[in-house]
Structure 1
């Protein structure tokens, strides 16, 4: 897949433990959600979690961004509920 469109979504959390929990919540979805038009990459560095979404077209990029922001939001809400 040639992906001329991409975006980087970075979030900084209060602690490394929180960032790790968010990363671990999202990571299983990376291979399950990718399609013919979008791919995603996830990395964590300390308190920062970065998602890179790449897509073949802008419509797919928008859909990918919405999907990953939703998944990240659910992970954040779940972590907050444990506090």
Structure 2
């Protein structure tokens, strides 16, 4: 299935990737991670790789969304408390780092997030 027909993958126009995070009214803290890539192709690959985790690693204390706009991947983490926010940010940063490493090994640029 190509990126344009798979709802869990980023499409050429950007936009949300993966399932929508559950609605949590008590997630009062939030932070945004932005990752810029050499081109839209790299951003699409990384967003597609990590986007499948949206909704899968959420819990009652945190949730996240993944979006892509051109050559940038944006991860927004929302949490009920600062400990959960930090844990969520660390988890998503690691997930993006792994995706970058895989893209790098597949012929793109080497990963940059550790």
TM range (shorter): over 0.9
Structure 1 CA distance, aligned partners of 2:83 and 2:52?
Answer: 24
- The CA RMSD over aligned residues, in Å, is 0.6
Aligned pair count reads 83
- Structure 1 residue 3 displacement after superposition: 1.2
Could you tell me which of 96, 101, 109 is aligned with 1:72? Answer: 96
TM-score, with length taken from structure 2? 0.71
Structure 1 CA distance, aligned partners of 2:56 and 2:76?
Answer: 16
Equivalent positions of 1:3-82 (< 5 A) are 3-82=27-106
- Structure 1 residue 4 displacement after superposition: 1.2
Unaligned runs of 5+ in 1: none
Which consecutive segments of 4 or more residues in structure 1 shift more than 2 A? none
TM-score, with length taken from structure 1? 0.97
Unaligned runs of 5+ in 2: 1-23, 108-114
Q: Which is strand-richer, 1 or 2?
A: 1
